Structure 1
Amino acid sequence: MLRQYTREFRFNARLAAPVILGMLGHTFVAFADNIMVGQLGTAELAAVSLGNSFVFIAMSIGIGFSTAITPLVAEADGAADKGAGKNALKHGLVLCTLLGLVLFGLIILAKPLMLYMDQPEEVVQLAIPYLDIVAFSLIPLIMFQAFKQFSEGLSQTKYPMFATILANVVNIVLNYLLIFGALGFPRLGVVGAAIGTLVARIIMLVFLWLLLKNRKKFHDYVTGFNFRNLEASYLKKIMSLGFPSALQMLFEVAIFTAATWISGVLGKNPQAANQIALNLSSMTFMFGMGLGVAAMIRVGNQKGLNNFIELRRIAQSIFFMTFLLEIVFATLFLIGRYWFPTLYLDEHDLINQADNLEVIGIAAQLLLVSAFFQISDGLQVVILGALKGLQDVKIPTIITFIAYWVIGFPLSFYLGLYTDLESVGIWIGLLSGLTASAIMLYIRFNYMTNRLITN
């Protein structure tokens, strides 16, 4: 019985692994920034957290929107329709570029909100110049996402991984030079981290395009675009898939962002602890994201072949694989919850020792809660990927809204600010929202695939 699912594990892993490494690369940019900036103090770490909270909301919209390209390319690939695949990339690239520009402008307009969010003043003053630069980096990042989702739609997941690895090397080197003023470079602190992120993302975009352009299989796809000849019907098709997908990711990222802001109301140390736990949880979440992309690709291929019985079996093999993997992560968080935060802060730093020890203690409590939501968080994003492969996006968008903003956020807000649980209460709300999302999305997937098989 289990063999029909486990025999797919090797192919699922081979397809998902480069995506996971690429996703981890995005998170590792923030991880490197947090570790290096954390050496400057808890206020600087909290400032990066506050600045990134705005960027992550916008980034979630851009990345979520770009995922519309993958199932269209995967379906075209399954049907051996090269023209439709190139059309998906061309129209998706135009929309992603425009969206990146719009999101950059919205963040700049929203920046004054920091002054009215009851955040520590020193944190806000450090966060504003950081945000200006990182917001601009969204434009090349979302353009990169268009090429990345296209490549993944053709089941070629390694090239975006190579680009992301290069970007991380560039980011770490520039962080070292510009945050601390090494080798004669100016000491720019958090602004140096922002510059490193911007330069790394520009290089990432250019490198991926060059990789694809110089591969015979992809050359005709990524060159010779006629941007004057855009089809309104195709733009509408991508938007009809992209905006619900963007909202799905927005609803989840926004509740974690809200957790950052609520933590800021509690003080800079709870906010810094929240950032540590969030950054660690984000890294394990990328494994679920990668498997979700694998589910999207494989389900999209089977949809192109109209083989719905096989579609269901393959999707469930990825769900089962995710479940087993997330149990491993939950165990790691339980065992290492006191050690992981020490990667970010020096518990032996005599000047900041009291603050650092408090942050480490709070972060350990949050990682305890995070251990429990590893399973539901991983499953919900993989099931969502399978539903995107079916091009079913509207009902899942409503489901994610209910899970995170009708169930999760009210609990986070009340337990965090009006009970003694404080930071732990915020994360109990997150756990509730993620669990509700996983359950309701699976019910939707079960209904959709049973209906397709019956018909």
Structure 2
Amino acid sequence: MGMLGHTFVAFADNVMVGQLGTAELAAVSLGNSFVFIAMSLGIGFSTAITPLVAEADGAGNPASGKSALKHGLVLCALLGLSLFVLILCCKPLMYYMKQPPEVVELAMPYLDLVAFSLVPLIIFQAFKQFSEGLSQTKYPMYATIIANVVNIVLNYLLIFGSFGFPKLGIVGAAIGTLVARILMVGYIWFLLSSKHKFHDYVTAFNFRKIEKKVMRTIIGLGFPSALQMFFEVAIFTVAIWLSGVLGKNAQAANQIALNLSSMTFMFGMGLGVAAMVRVGNQKGLQNFPDLRRIAQSIFLLTFLIEIVFATLFLIGRNWFPTLYLDVNDAINLADNTEVIFLSAQLLFVAAFFQISDGIQVVVLGALRGLQDVKIPTLITFIAYWIIGFPICYYLGLHTELKSIGIWIGLLTGLSASAIMLYLRFNYLTKSLIADSQ
């Protein structure tokens, strides 16, 4: 639920902005495509904190856990500011990406505010990954629920100009996102500091004493982890841009299918966090047979859950897209009808990659728990950019499959990633068990 909270903010923005028209929905899609790439780097980097805290917890060393949080907060704050500046520098690229002009003009002001919201979001991630490293996942969940409630309320007031508030359109959605993410940081710190068990961890930081060894350890784990998430999110972002070349309706349909898939993906990502924490605990205890057993149990659970999601996508593929658009809007009836038709086709493909997507992210979590990040980074690059991207590009822009072809490429990349990552985990754990006997 904590992982789903990040995506639900985008879901609320999409549903509420979609009532304004397909151009506005496409603009949010285009703006978020830049933000999602940066967010993937921030979230991926912050995951380095979890296995370090989990291992320290398993080994009964709270001082190491606090050190991991302190240094992680410093690095996450610096990374958040750097990513905000980077997005501002990259904004002019939208004019050279063959996107519809009206979509670009709408996306520009939206992007400024949502890009700045990355700073509090990535700081929040440091607290979140720390809390999860101690097997306490409910506090980040509470913070994301509060943030989503605030976001929805502000969206209603500022997008549509309700109760005397100014009607700001998609800029109102951006303000809602920014305010919600700032509150999220304050709330999780308040929750953790008010609990006796966590108070000493999250207070009395001495930021003047920074240890190079701990910084190098977090960067050594965080940078490859960030690249792993970046490679995956980037190919989905390219899918948004390729869809934009096909037109605003194709881009809007892609955004609907992507947003729905992202929400189900977060369940797999949450189980990936569980795998990371439990594997990290067993690594700290040097209990490798139980480590392998626990991880494989989580893989099986993920497989079963993703089958349920795949079934829901197949059954509801014609209905889900109607949640995002005003089907009674006579002015935009033709555009909305086309978007719903295209979305249903994409959700048919998305139903099948639910399984691959869930398996690859949970195995990746287990590998992070083992603090094995370099080879998995290479695997994700090969799967998405050597295998998946060429298929996306060729089928999407050079065949009649168009949008469906783009998503077939995504399915191929995810499946390749799931298979190769599992083979890596299988090899490592068998080796560790053999060496310990």
Tell me which interval the TM-score lies in, with the shorter structure as reference length: over 0.9
Find the counterpart in structure 2 of residue 411 from structure 1: 391
Describe the superposition over 1:368-414 as per-residue Cα deviations: whole angstroms up to 9, x where unpaired.
00001000000000000000000000000000000000000110011
Equivalent in 3, 18, 23 of residue 38 of structure 1 = 18
Describe the superposition over 1:107-153 as per-residue Cα deviations: whole angstroms up to 9, x where unpaired.
00000000000000000000000000000000000000000000000
Once the two structures are superposed, the pairs formed by residues 58-137 of structure 1 within 5 Å of their partners are 58-137=38-117
Q: Counterpart of 1:113 in structure 2: which amino acid? A: L
Q: Distance in 1 between matches of 2:5 and 2:42?
A: 17
Q: Distance in 1 between matches of 2:19 and 2:273?
A: 35
Find the counterpart in structure 1 of residue 258 from structure 2: 278
Q: Distance in 2 between matches of 1:144 and 1:357?
A: 39
Tell me how far 1:346 sits from its aligned partner. 2.2
Describe the superposition over 1:35-92 as per-residue Cα deviations: whole angstroms up to 9, x where unpaired.
0000000000000000000000000000000000000000000001010000000000
Q: Distance in 1 between matches of 2:14 and 2:175?
A: 14
Find the counterpart in structure 1 of residue 412 from structure 2: 432
Q: Counterpart of 2:406 in structure 1: which amino acid? A: I
| Identity in percent | 79
Tell me how far 1:237 sits from its aligned partner. 0.3
Find the counterpart in structure 2 of residue 185 from structure 1: 165
Q: Counterpart of 2:380 in structure 1: which amino acid? A: T
Find the counterpart in structure 2 of residue 445 from structure 1: 425
Q: Distance in 1 between matches of 2:131 and 2:124?
A: 11
User: What secondary structure sits across from 2:65 in the alignment?
Assistant: helix
Q: Distance in 2 between matches of 1:175 and 1:277?
A: 22
User: What secondary structure sits across from 1:206 in the alignment?
Assistant: helix
Find the counterpart in structure 2 of residue 250 from structure 1: 230
Q: Counterpart of 1:270 in structure 2: which amino acid? A: A
Equivalent in 295, 310, 318 of residue 298 of structure 2 = 318
Q: Distance in 2 between matches of 1:347 and 1:437?
A: 38
Q: Distance in 1 between matches of 2:122 and 2:427?
A: 33
Equivalent in 283, 288, 292 of residue 268 of structure 2 = 288
Tell me how far 1:348 sits from its aligned partner. 2.6
Q: Distance in 1 between matches of 2:330 and 2:206?
A: 62
Describe the superposition over 1:170-210 as per-residue Cα deviations: whole angstroms up to 9, x where unpaired.
00000000000000000000000000000000000000001
Alignment of 1:23 with 2:9, yes or no, is: no
User: What secondary structure sits across from 2:401 in the alignment?
Assistant: coil
Tell me how far 1:168 sits from its aligned partner. 0.3
User: What secondary structure sits across from 1:40 in the alignment?
Assistant: coil
Tell me how far 1:349 sits from its aligned partner. 1.6
Tell me how far 1:24 sits from its aligned partner. 1.1
Q: Distance in 2 between matches of 1:241 and 1:297?
A: 15
Q: Distance in 2 between matches of 1:330 and 1:183?
A: 40
Describe the superposition over 1:142-170 as per-residue Cα deviations: whole angstroms up to 9, x where unpaired.
00000000000000000000000000000
Q: Distance in 1 between matches of 2:234 and 2:175?
A: 25
Q: Distance in 1 between matches of 2:389 and 2:168?
A: 36
Equivalent in 126, 136, 146 of residue 126 of structure 2 = 146
Q: Distance in 1 between matches of 2:118 and 2:103?
A: 22
Describe the superposition over 1:287-332 as per-residue Cα deviations: whole angstroms up to 9, x where unpaired.
0000000000000000000000000000000000001111100000
Tell me how far 1:444 sits from its aligned partner. 0.1
Q: Counterpart of 1:390 in structure 2: which amino acid? A: L
Alignment of 1:195 with 2:175, yes or no, is: yes
Q: Distance in 2 between matches of 1:245 and 1:24?
A: 20
Compute the TM-score of the two structures, normalised by the length of structure 2: 0.99
Q: Distance in 2 between matches of 1:202 and 1:346?
A: 31
User: What secondary structure sits across from 1:80 in the alignment?
Assistant: coil
Report how many aligned residue pairs link the two structures: 435
Find the counterpart in structure 2 of residue 15 from structure 1: none
User: What secondary structure sits across from 1:114 in the alignment?
Assistant: helix
Q: Counterpart of 1:405 in structure 2: which amino acid? A: W
Compute the TM-score of the two structures, normalised by the length of structure 1: 0.95
Tell me how far 1:347 sits from its aligned partner. 2.3
Q: Distance in 1 between matches of 2:193 and 2:303?
A: 37
Find the counterpart in structure 1 of residue 192 from structure 2: 212
User: What secondary structure sits across from 1:51 in the alignment?
Assistant: helix
Q: Counterpart of 1:215 in structure 2: which amino acid? A: K
Q: Distance in 2 between matches of 1:234 and 1:201?
A: 28
